[in-house]
A and B are shown apart, each in its own frame.
Chain A
Amino acid sequence: MTSRGEAVATQLAAAGSGHRMRVLLVDDQPMIGEAVRRMLMSETDVDFAYCSDPTKAMELAAEFRPTVILQDLVMPEIDGLTMLRFYRANPLTREIPIIVLSTKEEPKVKAEAFTLGANDYLVKLPDPIELTARIRHHSRGYIAQIERNEAYAALKQSQERLAEELSQAAKYVISLLPERLSGEVATDWQFIPSVELGGDAFGYHWLDTDHLALYLLDVCGHGVKAALLSISAVNVLRNQTLVATDFRSPSEVLAGLNKVFQMERHNDMYFTMWYGVYDKQNRQLTYANGGHPPPILIAGPTEETADAVRLSQSGTIIGAFPEALFPQETRKLPRFSRLYLFSDGVYEVTKPDNTLLTYKDFMSILTDSERGGRSTIEHAVGTMRAAGRGDQFEDDVSIVEVTF
């Protein structure tokens, strides 16, 4: 039996349990205590505690933390069924498997014991092999439950830590976004980071008294690493840290970024970007595009007579191909000119029927004249959000409105 005990012990230990099996016997007869102690002696992975005084059992259980309790049914001061009630009422012992021990088979008592929460019923005392097997079976189940709870708690903690990190990263991205402008150029924007934080960022700043740079970028993927790349790129633009680059030339800027941000140096990530420069004196906009959805310009002699047009000058995603070129285009801006830059998260919304909304859908919503008193951005974002399956967008949403 010893070698068998050892074999089983090794097996269970190998099963990776960091928890030992602990048996608490509560029985008023020391003879029983001694008998069980002898039976478990050779089980090297089982700790045994004996309690003859039921009034001390709870206290001992709290300290010893058994993985199974053997509870005598008939005792002079407190009977076993009452002990069962106590065990099941106390959070510390509520889940511990309990084997009740009786001197005889009594169907009524048995039924009541199980009703009160016992997990097994034995007539004292079965042979060692049976007792040990039952002890191991119940202990294993309890240990598995503990380990599962521990794993869940650890998982929850790491998820909370991740959510906190994402929230901090989102805050940092938001802190880099510019103030809204008013006056000769007016701006408005919305930035809604997704739960997993996508890689959206945007900005605008005066390069000199006459030139305003505008840009919006979107790093592929999610998470802190996407946010880190988008922040790097925005910082390069804000601080104009590209060597020998005329920041009034969108072609040069995108080509410069493309060289600096080649994928293999940035975790194999690419980003899309639109970069434009508004020339105040000549009232014209020059722009180039690195694989980003085309911005929409609503322009005309007046707001009422304005037309919507895509700024379709295209180019390649940034970071993919070192030799890529980014042709730029210049457009004169009519008296009424309002530009919308946005990321694909604003229109890549899954409808309840599981199809996706499209850029075209978004364009027609953007040019809706009926907006119920809301601003264009509010109306567009609100409508797209409502068209989706849930309350949230699936990806980062960025949208910038610039009125020239």
Chain B
Amino acid sequence: MVVASVCVAVPTIDTPALAQSLAKRVIEGDHMAIATEELTGGIFKVILEGRLDIEGAAAVDLQMNVIAGSRKAVLVDLQKVSFLGSMGLRALVAPARTIRSRGGKIVLFAPNELVEQVLKTSGVDALIPVHHELQTALAALQ
């Protein structure tokens, strides 16, 4: 994958405020929003919001793959994802494969019923763990 060399390069930061806002970035796609947060213990949280359909997947693909190439413990918060289509599933599976191939871990957190059904039918839940409790999700990433 191309990704490894496209790691997000954080420039030297002058002000604390700027540093903080970089740690919590929100990038808007047409349908999808993606926000990220550093948690303790080196865990990186990705919060997805919106419909993970064809457009939604296209909007987050690049960031997800960059994260997959640069992080080893990722929690994907799916609480605000209202729909998961086949391309959306791909947008989760491709980064998951990358993280695992680099020896990292990834979990999916709190999908709604509709989204979880897609994860079950596709069998993806058998290979990317799905957790509904934050504590167990974080524990799985240790």
Q: Which residues of A contact B (CB under 8 A)?
A: 218, 220-222, 263-264, 268-270, 272, 290-294, 314-317, 320-321, 324
Contacts and interface: CB of A to CB of B under 8 A. Distances in A.
Contacts of A324: 123, 126-127
B122 interface: yes
A263 B127 contact: no
Given A317-B124, A321-B127, A221 B90 contact: yes
Contact of B123 (A218, A269, A291): A291
B93 A270 contact: yes
Given A291-B123, A316-B126, A321 B97 contact: yes
29 contacts: A220-B86, A220-B90, A221-B54, A221-B86, A222-B54, A263-B93, A264-B97, A269-B90, A270-B89, A270-B90, A272-B122, A291-B122, A291-B123, A292-B121, A293-B121, A314-B120, A314-B121, A314-B123, A316-B123, A316-B124, A317-B93, A317-B122, A317-B123, A317-B124, A320-B97, A320-B127, A321-B97, A324-B123, A324-B126
Interface SS of chain A:
loop
A269 B97 CA distance: 12
Of the candidates A220, A222, A294, A324, the one having the most CB atoms from chain B within 10 angstroms of its own CB is A220
Interface residues of B, number: 16
A317 B88 CA distance: 14
Interface string B50-87: 00001000000000000000000000000000000011
Given A315-B123, A321-B97, A321-B127, 4 more contacts: A290-B123, A316-B127, A320-B127, A324-B127
Nearest to B65: A268
Contacts of B124: 291, 316-317, 320
Given A220-B86, A220-B89, A269-B90, A263 B122 contact: no
A324 B97 CA distance: 13
Nearest to B123: A316
Contacts of B1: 264
